[in-house]
Amino acid sequence: MSKQPDFDAVVIGAGITGMYQLYKLREQGFKVKGIEGAPDVGGAWFWNRYPGCRVDSESHTYSYFWSDELKQKFNWTERFAGQPEVLTYLQTAADLMDIRKDYIFNQRVKTARWDDENKYWVIQLEEGGSTPITSRFFFSAMGPLSAPQMPNVPGVYTFEGDWWHTGRWPRDPDSNHGAKIDFTGKRVAVVGTGASGVQVIQEMSKVAKELFVFQRSPNWTNPLGNAPVSQEEMDEIKRNYNKLNEFCDTTLSGFPHKWIDRDTLDVPEEERDATFEDLYKGPGFRLWLGNYHDYLENPEANKVVTEFVARKIRERVKDPVTAEKLTPRDHGYGTRRVPMDTKYYECYNQDNVHLVDLRETPMEQVEATGIRTSDGKLYEVDVIVYATGFYAIRGSLSRIEIYGKDGRSLNQVWRDEGVKTYLGLMVDGFPNFFTLVGPQNGTVFCNIPRCSATAIDWNEGLMQNVFDMNIKTIEADPTAQNEWNHLCEEKLAKGLLGKTDSWFTGVNKNVAGAQKREVLFYAGGIPEFKELCVDIQNDNWRGFLFDGAPAAKLTEPA
Ligand code: NAP
């Protein structure tokens, strides 16, 4: 006689995705429990409290579209909200869902082991000695950018001044802000020039006595176009949420920007430049995701856009040598996630800001008083900010050992066989385990709150069948998994993103075994992904095995 688990479903993570998934399951009648490492909800927005942190999707699109109440209740004050406001939004959402009561906070999952006899997961938390939790279903909602990664440089822990990683910034205990740290008059080093680096550099340049930017690879950035949102504008947004939702549902990544339906090289140069000028001003990702439709596939078209943005850098940075150092030469515009800036390049026109080009003089080591480069120079500083990013997409999963049916861990399986999933949601051999916004999912290259909700709304149908028919196990069919893997490869191979080293393609020079590109997201875009999911549902949840067999007559078509 098999034992009954403590819970029907356990969800790891109380960020945007985890909270909604837990809420949905609870509303469906499952007995649920959430586990969260932080003391409260918010996920990435709880931890990333560095100066300058703000969202680069239009605030009102970066939201839970499923909740009319929340949409009408919450007033965004900026077009691109700062981190404290996004966190306030998520706390408001948590109140509305009354979700905190279902979570264990300040706890991390250490291991999870499938018990095939009892058909449930045995989940061990990090706090040693605690009794494991058992659950029939197990959802990971840890976010694609939640495993902060320090640089693999000797001595990083020997620095005697203050240092922080942007992804684990200290908190102000009394507010949603970061800790009140006065950088005025300080010598500050920032390592890294991705989206976090760009934001923190802009802020530090205003107050630091000396700011040393340690740049290994420059990124393309363009103006964010932030502005306050008046009450009248907010009222207008509220009136138009439904229209906006419908529109965003038709765009590649759920953002309010749509391709221009013309081939870049067919457009006369003068007209093209005028378009780029307009898009460059923003707001948001217009230049990146609202450009001519072929420029992220056709290298010649990409060259044209890239040259335009390079020209902009030369216009904005007074010193031509510095401008050249800030110009990427190893990838074209838009082929990596584009950081958005607010007077970023202009910082380098200030006397207190110094660019250290690590391609010329690599970082050799961190010492007690600063950072030493390969030319023997020691940059003495009071503070080091590591804006060195995350072990993205699979990093948070890699930090837990999850043992499947044959006793092998997910880390081992993916090490041996490469990352393979079905729909980016399940992995063959790991029954009842769901990876939300996981590797190879359609929601990874997307506006996360919108797209993860799309995926969760779809899971609802799957889980409803499980609930109604008292199903004990769901698994990915290995053939369907292989087919999905090939489709992901095909889609990624079509565009230039797949041909570029970045966190999208799993390359992280600080992580052993993450030096080669992998297929880590479904690049077909969210409308296509949704269509595929509906088709699978209408085909009796093709590719899933229910209690070991394909669904014969499970569902009503969607
Ligand atoms: P990131 O884009 O991965 O950038 C990390 C930076 O650190 C890169 O410039 C990298 O250089 C550098 N770096 C890493 N290891 C280094 C080392 N050992 N020595 C020197 N430099 C090193 O990380 P991120 O800036 O945190 O951004 C990650 C993602 O988070 C973004 O793409 C975005 O999706 C999200 N994000 C969003 C927002 C927003 O909404 N506004 C803000 C921040 C972040 P290499 O390129 O040479 O490795």
- 3-state DSSP helix/strand/coil percent for the chain, to nearest 5? 35, 20, 45
Ligand 1 pocket check for 447: Cβ under 6 Å: no
pLDDT in tens, 312-330: 999 999 999 999 999 999 9
Specify whether 446 is located in the same domain as 528. Answer: yes
pLDDT in tens, 187-212: 999 999 999 999 999 999 999 999 99
In Å, what is the CA distance from 238 to each residue of 60, 71, 85, 88, 251?
9, 7, 18, 18, 20
Tell me if 33 is assigned to some domain. Answer: no
| Average pLDDT of span 106-126 | 97
Nearest alpha carbon, ligand 1 atom 37: 195
| pLDDT score of 130 more than 80 | no
Atom of ligand 1 nearest to the CA of 195: 25
- Say what the pLDDT of residue 465 is: 87
Using most ligand atoms within 8 A of CB, pick from 145, 164, 196 the residue to mutate for ligand 1.
196
Nearest alpha carbon, ligand 1 atom 35: 195
Count of other CB atoms within 10 angstroms of residue 530: 17
Ligand 1 pocket check for 338: Cβ under 6 Å: no
Atom of ligand 1 nearest to the CA of 192: 7
Specify whether 119 is located in the same domain as 164. Answer: no
Atom of ligand 1 nearest to the CA of 153: 18
| Average pLDDT of span 23-35 | 97
Question: Which residues, in sequence order, are CB contacts of 133 under 8 Å at separation 6+?
Answer: 6, 7, 10, 33, 35, 122, 123, 125
Structural domain count of the chain: 2
Specify whether 417 is located in the same domain as 462. Answer: yes
pLDDT in tens, 403-440: 999 999 999 999 999 999 999 999 999 999 999 999 99
Cα angle 453, 526, 436; round to 5: 45
Tell me if 12 is assigned to some domain. Answer: no
Task: Name the domain boundary from 333, 366, 389.
Answer: 389
| Average pLDDT of span 357-378 | 98
Nearest alpha carbon, ligand 1 atom 3: 389
| Average pLDDT of span 177-183 | 97
CA distance 400 to 478: 23
CA of 337 to the centre of ligand 1 (A): 9
Ligand 1 pocket check for 328: Cβ under 6 Å: no
- Say what the pLDDT of residue 258 is: 94
Specify whether 68 is located in the same domain as 139. Answer: no
In Å, what is the CA distance from 504 to each residue of 145, 209, 233, 517?
11, 35, 34, 9
- Say what the pLDDT of residue 276 is: 98
Ligand 1 pocket check for 216: Cβ under 6 Å: yes
Tell me if 261 is assigned to some domain. Answer: no
Structure token pair of residue 424: 């980016």
| pLDDT score of 557 more than 80 | no
Nearest alpha carbon, ligand 1 atom 10: 192
Specify whether 421 is located in the same domain as 341. Answer: no
CA distance 394 to 312: 35
| pLDDT score of 556 more than 90 | no
Specify whether 120 is located in the same domain as 159. Answer: no
In SS3 terms, 281-308 reads as CCCCCHHHHCCECCCCCCHHHHHHHHHH
Using most ligand atoms within 8 A of CB, pick from 216, 219, 221, 326 the residue to mutate for ligand 1.
216
Specify whether 212 is located in the same domain as 330. Answer: yes
Task: Name the domain boundary from 363, 389, 415.
Answer: 389
- Say what the pLDDT of residue 468 is: 86
CA distance 253 to 308: 24
CA distance 400 to 141: 13
CATH number of the domain within which 197 lies: 3.50.50.60
Atom of ligand 1 nearest to the CA of 48: 43
Atom of ligand 1 nearest to the CA of 145: 30
CA of 296 to the centre of ligand 1 (A): 21
Comparing CA positions, the residue from 214, 340, 365, 229 lying closest to residue 286 is 340
CA distance 111 to 294: 44
Specify whether 349 is located in the same domain as 404. Answer: no
Tell me if 176 is assigned to some domain. Answer: yes
Ligand 1 pocket check for 522: Cβ under 6 Å: no
| pLDDT score of 280 more than 50 | yes
Ligand 1 pocket check for 358: Cβ under 6 Å: yes
Specify whether 367 is located in the same domain as 497. Answer: no
CA of 389 to the centre of ligand 1 (A): 4
Comparing CA positions, the residue from 306, 319, 280, 3 lying closest to residue 135 is 3
Q: Which value, to the nearest 10 degrees, does the dihedral of the CA atoms of residues 397, 398, 403, 408 take? A: 140
Return the percentage of the chain with pLDDT > 90, whole number.
94
Ligand 1 pocket check for 146: Cβ under 6 Å: no
Question: Which residues, in sequence order, are CB contacts of 424 under 8 Å at separation 6+?
Answer: 435, 438, 439, 440, 441, 442, 443, 444, 484, 488, 521, 522
| pLDDT score of 129 more than 90 | no
- Say what the pLDDT of residue 553 is: 57
Nearest alpha carbon, ligand 1 atom 27: 195
Burial (CB count <10 Å: 0-12, 13-18, 19+), residue 411: middle
545 neighbors 431 (Cβ within 8 angstroms): no
| pLDDT score of 444 more than 90 | no
Nearest alpha carbon, ligand 1 atom 45: 217
Ligand 1 pocket check for 156: Cβ under 6 Å: no
14 neighbors 186 (Cβ within 8 angstroms): no
Tell me if 436 is assigned to some domain. Answer: yes
Which helix (DSSP H) or strand (DSSP E) does residue 324 occupy? Answer: helix 320-325
Ligand 1 pocket check for 511: Cβ under 6 Å: no
Tell me if 227 is assigned to some domain. Answer: yes
C-alpha 85 chain-centroid distance: 18
Ligand 1 pocket check for 515: Cβ under 6 Å: no
CA of 191 to the centre of ligand 1 (A): 9
Tell me if 264 is assigned to some domain. Answer: no
pLDDT in tens, 471-521: 999 999 999 999 999 999 999 999 999 999 999 999 999 999 999 999 999
CA distance 400 to 291: 40
Which helix (DSSP H) or strand (DSSP E) does residue 363 occupy? Answer: strand 363-366
**Mean pLDDT over all residues of the chain?**
96
CA distance 463 to 326: 49
CA of 217 to the centre of ligand 1 (A): 10
Ligand 1 pocket check for 337: Cβ under 6 Å: yes
Tell me if 209 is assigned to some domain. Answer: yes
Comparing CA positions, the residue from 90, 76, 333 lying closest to residue 230 is 76
The number of helices, as runs of H, and strands, as runs of E, in the chain is 17, 21
Residue 128 pLDDT level (bands cut at 50, 70, 90): low
Specify whether 326 is located in the same domain as 463. Answer: no
Nearest alpha carbon, ligand 1 atom 16: 151
Cα angle 431, 432, 438; round to 5: 95
Nearest alpha carbon, ligand 1 atom 43: 196
CA distance 190 to 213: 5
- Phi then psi for residue 355, to 5 deg, are -95, 125
Specify whether 365 is located in the same domain as 222. Answer: yes
Task: Name the domain boundary from 348, 365, 389.
Answer: 389
| Helix pair 526-538, 448-469: axis angle to 10 deg | 10
Domain span including residue 537: 109-147+392-555
Specify whether 171 is located in the same domain as 236. Answer: yes
